[in-house]
Amino acid sequence: MSSSSRTGRFAPSPSGPLHFGSLLTAVASYVDARASGGRWLLRIEDIDPPREMVGADGLILDTLARHGLHWDGAVLYQSTRHARYREVLDDLLARGQIYRCACTRARLATLHNIYDGHCHQHPPPASTPCALRLQLPEKIFAFDDRILGLQQQNLAEAGDCIIHRKDGLFAYQLAVVVDDIDQNMTDVVRGSDILPSTGVQIYLTELLSGTPPQYAHVPVLLGADGKKLSKQNHAPAINSATASANLYQVLIWLGQQPPADLINESPELILRWAVAHWDIATIATA
């Protein structure tokens, strides 16, 4: 099945069916993994039930399969990983890397999105319902994005980030890092909307003695209104009946140059062409 030690993944949140923006990320991560002879895993990031749609995971799996995007092994559901996330939180707490925060929404609203470390200096009483925040160092973090080139992020700029919410839900930053470590991820290809989180994720990976993956952030698709295609923007669901045309269009958006007659082929054949000709350097960055 796989001839190299590379591992990539597609990690959708099941908040609705796939739209063209998420299909683009799925195809880019799939083709990139297969082009290096690597494995491609599917992880359903179902850690935020209020934002999820019942049955979306099934729709996503079906759409991927009908586009020939076949994943390796079993699908990993983050909802089955709570005990592991809890264990990591306990470890970080014991090491003094995270702290309890009882700040109200009203107080946070006055801070303009940059947490000021208040509860680190003034720990809330033990009985207060709390979020957990990861303490971030004042440090410029540099990493080489395979598409966007050298990126520099000051970790402290956004303030210490929440990794466990006051309502008891695990935060995306924690779950994504723990799973990428535990699944031995070497290559993350995802939308550039997540770029700002990457420095924090590399930092947390190293704190947990993991090896950070290589990152490639694919520019996000914009709708006719100039806004990111997303479920919130009511981007239409992918129609699997036109899978070949969908894949062909996605390859064009990814800067690849599929021959015109490829559009009439099966999804599997189109993907085989894409894997054989994959060139991440031709993805337009603007």
Residues near ligand GLU (CB under 6 A) are 11-13, 45, 176, 190, 194
Interaction partner, residue 103 (ligand GLU, Zn ion, none; CB < 5-8 Å by kind) = Zn ion
176, 11 in Cβ contact below 8 A?
yes
**Which of Zn ion, ligand GLU, none is residue 16 near (CB under 5 to 8 Å by kind)?**
none
Q: Which does 11 bind (CB under 5 to 8 A by kind): ligand GLU, Zn ion, none?
A: ligand GLU
CB-count exposure of residue 110 (10 Å: 0-12, 13-18, 19+): exposed
Q: Which of Zn ion, ligand GLU, none sits in contact with 52, Cβ below 5 to 8 A by type? A: none
- CB–CB of 28/255 below 8 Å? no
**Smallest distance, Å, CB 126 to ligand GLU?**
33
CA 228 to each of CA 162, 219, 224: distance values in angstroms, whole numbers, following the listed order: 25, 10, 9
Of 99 and 172, the one with the shorter C-beta distance to ligand GLU is 172
By a kind-dependent CB cut-off of 5 to 8 A, residue 119 interacts, out of ligand GLU, Zn ion, none, with: Zn ion
166 Cβ partners below 8 Å, 6+ apart?
A: 102, 129, 130, 131
Q: Are strands 7-10 and 39-44 parallel, antiparallel or unpaired?
A: parallel
Beta carbon of residue 87, minimum distance to Zn ion (angstroms, whole number): 24
Q: Cβ atoms within 10 A of the Cβ of 47, count?
A: 22
3-state secondary structure 79-148: HHCHHHHHHHHHHHHHCCCEEEECCCHHHHHCCCCCCCCHHHHCCCCCCCCCEEEECCCCCEEEEEECCC
Query: From Zn ion, ligand GLU, none, which one binds at residue 45 (CB under 5 to 8 Å depending on kind)?
Result: ligand GLU
Q: How far is the CB of 107 from ligand GLU (least distance, A)?
A: 28
CB of 127 to Zn ion, least distance (A): 16
Q: From the CB of 220, what's the least distance to ligand GLU, in Å?
A: 10
63, 76, 92, 170 alpha-carbon torsion, rounded to 10°: 50
Shortest Cβ 51–ligand GLU spacing (Å): 10
Q: How far apart are CA 107 and CA 116, in angstroms?
A: 11
Comparison of 45 and 187: residue with beta carbon closer to ligand GLU = 45
Q: Which is nearer to ligand GLU, 20 or 262 (CB)?
A: 20
Q: How far is the CB of 117 from Zn ion (least distance, A)?
A: 8
Q: Which is nearer to Zn ion, 103 or 250 (CB)?
A: 103
Nearer of residues 194 and 262 to ligand GLU, judged by Cβ: 194
Q: Which residues bind Zn ion (CB under 5 A)?
A: 101, 103, 118-119
- List the single partner that 190 binds among Zn ion, ligand GLU, none, CB under 5 to 8 Å by kind: ligand GLU
**Nearer residue to ligand GLU within complex by CB, 48 or 103:** 48
Question: Quick one: angle between helices 20-35 and 267-277, nearest 10?
Answer: 60
* Phi, psi (degrees; rounded to nearest 5) at 214: -80, 145
Residue closer to Zn ion by CB (options 118, 146) is 118
For residue 41, what are the β-bridge partners? 9
